[in-house]
Structure 1
Amino acid sequence: MEKKNVVVLDYGSGNVRSAVRALEAAGAHVELTADPEKVMSADGLVVPGVGAYASVMEQLTNIGALRWIGRRIAGGQPVLGICVGHQVFFEEGVEHGVQTAGIGEWPGTVERLKSDVIPHMGWNTVQPPASTKLFAGVENERFYFVHSYAVQKWEFDVTQPAMTPPQVTWSTHGTPFVAAVENGPLSAVQFHPEKSGEAGAQLLRNWLGTL
């Protein structure tokens, strides 16, 4: 089977080499780049993210990536967000009292987790919906999280009967939070599949299988 071409978006986010290696191990041909033509022509685009929400949004905006990401989603071209690259697809993030507008594909606010132990660091189970494709075969496995902020309330209003509502996967650390969303060409996960062992590798293979 021919390898799928995947671009890991290179916009200044740190620690992306592990994501590149994990995708390669999952069977993809991977390139780390911010070249617009390559971003738009790739079979799949991965948006990584570590650090502060506001910083990631600023970096994405500075290289013009918001336009490319929007065009890919509108055209049905697959996109996968990871960690803060998952969070930015919501309406906004609030960190240390600073409110930052997100990409806005989904309603919701990224806020500090309500837990006595912050950050949430380590392995945790998830609760995906029965119709999940992303978690097929790993529904009961643990995934590796490193974060202090998350979306803890999901309010998606399907205004058109023909619209298929997004599939939401939950996890819990002090309080329930959104661990992943599957929404047509756009998928995003709060955890790090590239650090999640065989479960993460299978999830990446599942995503590549949708390209």
Structure 2
Amino acid sequence: MIVIIDYGMGNLRSVQNGFAQAGFATVVSADPKDLVQADGLVLPGVGAFGQARESLQAEGLDKAIYQQVAKGVPLLGICLGHQLLFDSSEEMGEHRGLGLIPGEVVPFTGEVKVPQVGWNQLSIKRKHPLLNGIKDGDYFYFVHSYYVRPKDPAVNLATADYGSEFSAVVQKDNVFGIQFHPEKSSRLGLLILKNFGELVEC
């Protein structure tokens, strides 16, 4: 069972529909009891980092996430969920993340228009089953003003460029994060959801 974590932040049904199109049934739940019985977890999200982190803590969902990750259950963070996997964020102050992957979330700076909204290309850094069927230069749909800066660049499965290079897909053990929206990224986005579903079934 794949559980999509409902902590009041965003696009739960579109992610669920994406998994359904990819051939995987999911459950949307805000109950920690469901999370600790899951074979795979998905942490989506749209909105503010600090509010999201508070919501996870208030409902006890963060404890369930830690418990499952420690057991080796695959966890996929999407967009804001991807950013929450890291240690901290500078969005509207300093906020502590889940700390599952060392690194920080920082704002885009310089000449680029913020937020980044639209299609951007991936640069594949290393092979992994999550990216089966994805080629260097393939396009995915992004919407974000902040990006992840991992402490160890080796966690990057793929990066993208928006004024400068930033992390687009990361992996550390059984924890995965993607900055773009797979459910809005057409066939290739659904392929990544399918790949994650197959990782859960392994």
TM-score, structure 2 normalization: 0.93
Provide the residue aligned with 1:161 in structure 2.
none
Instruction: Tell me the SS of whatever aligns to 1:95.
Output: coil
Instruction: Tell me the SS of whatever aligns to 2:157.
Output: strand
What's the offset of the Cα at 1:36?
2.0
Provide the residue aligned with 1:162 in structure 2.
none
Within a 5 Å distance, the mapping from 1:56-95 to structure 2 comes to: 56-95=52-91
* Maintained 8 Å contact 1:53/1:88: yes
* Maintained 8 Å contact 1:9/1:48: yes
Cα deviation digits, residues 82-124 of structure 1 (max 9, x gap): 001000111100023x000111112221111124211001011
- 1:145 counterpart letter in structure 2: F
* Maintained 8 Å contact 2:22/2:193: yes
Gaps of 5+ in 2: none
Identity rate, percent? 36
Greater helix proportion:
2
* Maintained 8 Å contact 1:134/1:182: no
What's the offset of the Cα at 1:167?
4.3
Cα deviation digits, residues 57-82 of structure 1 (max 9, x gap): 11111111111111111100111100
Which of 140, 145, 148 is matched with 2:145 structurally? 148
Q: Which is worse superposed, 85-94 or 108-117?
A: 108-117
What CA distance in whole angstroms lies between the structure 1 residues aligned with 2:135 and 2:69?
26
What CA distance in whole angstroms lies between the structure 1 residues aligned with 2:21 and 2:178?
19
TM-score, structure 1 normalization: 0.89
Cα deviation digits, residues 155-205 of structure 1 (max 9, x gap): 229xxxxxxx63432111111111111122111101100110000011111
Gaps of 5+ in 1: 158-164
Instruction: Tell me the SS of whatever aligns to 1:104.
Output: coil
Aligned length: 198
- 1:7 counterpart letter in structure 2: V
CA RMSD of aligned residues (A): 1.5
Provide the residue aligned with 2:176 in structure 1.
187
Within a 5 Å distance, the mapping from 1:17-36 to structure 2 comes to: 17-36=13-32
